[in-house]
Structure 1
Amino acid sequence: MQSPAKPNNPNFSSGPCSKRPGYAVENLQLNTLGRSHRSSLGKDALSQACLKTAELLGLPEGYRVGVVPASDTGAMEMAMWSLLGQRGVDVLAWESFGKGWVTDITKQLKLDNVRLFEADYGYLPDLDAVDFNNDVVFTWNGTTSGVKVPNGDWIPDEREGLSICDATSAAFAMDIPWQKIDVGTFSWQKVLGGEGAHGMLVLSPRAVERLESYTPPWPMPKIFRMTKGGKLIEGIFKGATINTPSMLCVADYLDALSWVESLGGVQALIDKSNNNLAIVEEFVSANEWLSFLAHDPHTISNTSICLTLDAEPDQVKQIVKLLEQEKVAYDIGAYRDAPAGIRIWGGATVEAEDLNKLMSWIALTYDQVVKQA
């Protein structure tokens, strides 16, 4: 039997994710390299990163966007350490990164008035039980479980607390009602296929008001400080970053934003990612040995698509290894803390043609490793 055609691009990692179709380093605008990030040229590039992000995401009036250190993790840490403690906290966790925020809140910040809403991999906690009189910390999409919140209907428009959302594998790929988000974070290296080490922090006017009216009781590292003299440091959200960024990574991010513009905006990326998920859904429905880790169809991620197989964990590892050896798919093993399985990135930087080819290869290797064993 002749082997099926291989994907043109075998990069299906869930972070750093595949570069956009047609990407080439030589096409980047590199006039900022070797220049200070505080020069007019450097500040303009960073300002454009903030402004274009806000414009493309359709952020409400008054929302700020800033480039911050340490990827999505750094952005979330800045938000939690700067904002939490004034009132109670409801924190949701249904996979490893959400559980990391639980650790910060309960073991590092050591907050007392905390309610924890947990669920096993594949499930969501009870969203209706969340109290928005408290601050609420959650992930929009569980990158390591492939389980997302179905929508923002559970977040009230009128709320006393702040909604603090880790949106790193959701922003630019899912329909996020930003008016319901007071703090949003994401990294360049997820949906847009950018480079790592830099995060984006989105603040609503309500979040800014909290920053300017509340001082946490714990010491605040310089890299987390967003206020001075009780006022927001507005420069952070206009390109004057807290620390020195990589201008090469900034150029790469601006290239990704231009790509989004060339497709017609964020909706084109959402549609493309949804179409990629549909390819996997069709394949799963036709093969009873394969299932989504997400148990509710309304919560299946269209970016970090997590699948379980009717196979032993060692057999799953063997399938993943074979796909890598054949240069069909790289880095698609389930996250180390998740149940054994396959995790395929389905964001808009992945082409449908390549995803179709990958599914054929998954079937082939499953036959070799499991059915013929």
Structure 2
Amino acid sequence: MNLLKLTSGMLGLVLGFVCMVGMAQATPVVYGGTLGTTPVVIELDVQLDGRVESRYFVASERVTHHINGQRSKQGQLTLNIDVDALESDDEADVKPASSPVITLRPADNNGWQGEWRQGQGTPLAVELSQMVPIATAGLSPFMQSLYQLSPYDYLLRATAEPVMVKQGVVNGYNVEWWQEPNAKLSMFQLTSGYPAERLAALNAALRDSFWRTVLAVAQCEHSDDKVKISLLSANVISYVVSGDRSCGGAHDYMDVSPHILRVSDASELTLSDLMWVDESPVPDASAIPDDYLQETLPTWLAAQFARLYPEQTKVTDDESEDVCDYSSSEVWANAPWSLTSKGIYFQTMTPNLTSQCKGSGWEILPWDVVKQHPGRLKDLPLP
């Protein structure tokens, strides 16, 4: 493997961090140091049971390599690196390479030291020190959000500052769309229509959602995720992140992830917050029984949509091997939902979740029906 040197800016950043951590940790910890003479950034996730799932990069590559291994009873880490992830296809075809192994032992000031070995090659010394928190006041809001979410990913993407790509007006609210240079996904930020404090909290939640999606998509071979705003109102905001993904499974699939935010505190809402079709009181979201989610609610939805849209619910795609049967509770149990000005939209998906049901778009439960079955937040004004 060719280990490339970090840029001088990253080198200064890495070497400016100091030591702080012990052998075992409950959450991932980021270290800066050297592999031979090459500066590296590594995140060690040492589980309490001794398992280690970690990753590292050198800045000139800006590519994450995953490592895993075990911590011994004496505190030594043995990490194995996936050699296939380090080589191009051409390099891998020339000759099989032995997998690199990193061994680390606790060092002074809660750091780590050890060596990298690969086959019969000369071992390289490894020296690591934990990175102290950086001052985020000078960072842009997007980069502050990324650092709070994942210091490792902030360092990895420090040179990929999101930029504004367009502006627009949605439901009378001014919005800006921001995109990271290395990602296809754009996320909106609100610039008017809400009190300043609420605007700040909502935008922070949107940035957090953006980065979580970007980091999840980075694990996939292919994705084309897009964000669509379905509702901006005085009390609730609704948007959907969706796209086709190929993440190493047997089949590609369509991922649809709706997000509904309460304007007053920027918290994520669940369907049971807004609508409940069983006996009262509404239980906590974590205590809702599976039979409600898999039987009671979807069966009720199937009946409502059959009454409201009799022609649409009779239609089936006879040419498809993955037919959407709107009379089946399964279709409605798996339907992601979002808010619109007309009601709650239930996005029906084919049973294998590879695509939307043919001709979908009509599956809106009107607000007057929703309001007859109030959820946990009975006092929340709905459109």
Under TM normalisation by the shorter chain, which class is it? under 0.3
Q: Which has the higher helix share?
A: 1
Please state which structure has a larger fraction of its residues in strand: 2
Looking at CA atoms only, which structure, 1 or 2, has the larger radius of gyration?
A: 2
Question: Which TM-score applies when normalising by structure 2?
Answer: 0.22
Larger RCO, structure (CA 8 Å, separation 6 or more): 1
